[in-house]
Amino acid sequence: MTIRRLFKGVSASLLASAATLAAAEDAHHHDTKAAATPIQVLSHEHRVVERMADVLVAMADEAEARGRLDAEAGAAAMDFLKGFLDACHHAKEEKLLFPAMVQQDKEVALTEALGKEHDEGRAHVKAMAKALETPLSAASVHSFAERARAYASLLRKHIETEDKKLFPVADKALPSDAQARLAEGFERIEAEETGAGVHEKYLGIAERLEARYGKAPHKHEPVHQH
């Protein structure tokens, strides 16, 4: 059975994007029965963000050991954090998923707290980008390393909260029509705000940074339709 038949409410391009991301995460396992709901799309994206969290820590360690920042690698990391994590992933949550949960009167306080963590993350990214402007400065190295480790820790905790607390409730609470609207909205964000091929572009950045910092890609089990 094809992905499209398993979840007809999701457009072909969004399914292809999620399927590409899942396949890249677990290329050794080809499962044609895998289906990507909107919540599963977000979960797949989390797996890539977790990889970037590991890279941020490795960047901090190297910067402190060498006494300077790698401006090129740092720019790539900032591109990922701004272009994929914030403009794509966080946009899907803040503009679509969180309001949908509030409309269903589910986990309202939790979505508010998660939104505040997004803002906290943006402050970390802004500080890291500022530090990269003077890569040879000892103060910049210290600032970047401190912020990179703090953001990596925040990301891991934030993702765990969404994966274990928010997403299971969303899967059950959101009716099929709301799920379909999420899917359409996700596609619109990727097409209009971040551009086509967003998953492929930023997965490529993550892989290059992993190779640069000696981080092996993580392996995850494929996600199936419930």
pTM, two decimals, is 0.81
Q: What is the pLDDT of residue 36?
A: 85
Q: What is the pLDDT of residue 221?
A: 37
Sorted by where each starts, the structural domains of the chain and their CATH numbers stand as 37-212 (1.20.120.520)
Q: What is the pLDDT of residue 7?
A: 36
Local structure of residue 69 (DSSP, 8 states): -
Local structure of residue 33 (DSSP, 8 states): T
Q: Which residues contact 139 (CB under 8 A, 6 or more apart)?
A: none
Cα–Cα dist 9/226, whole Å: 15
Q: Which residues of the chain have pLDDT under 70?
A: 1-35, 215-226
Query: Which tokens hold the place of 15?
Result: 């399914």
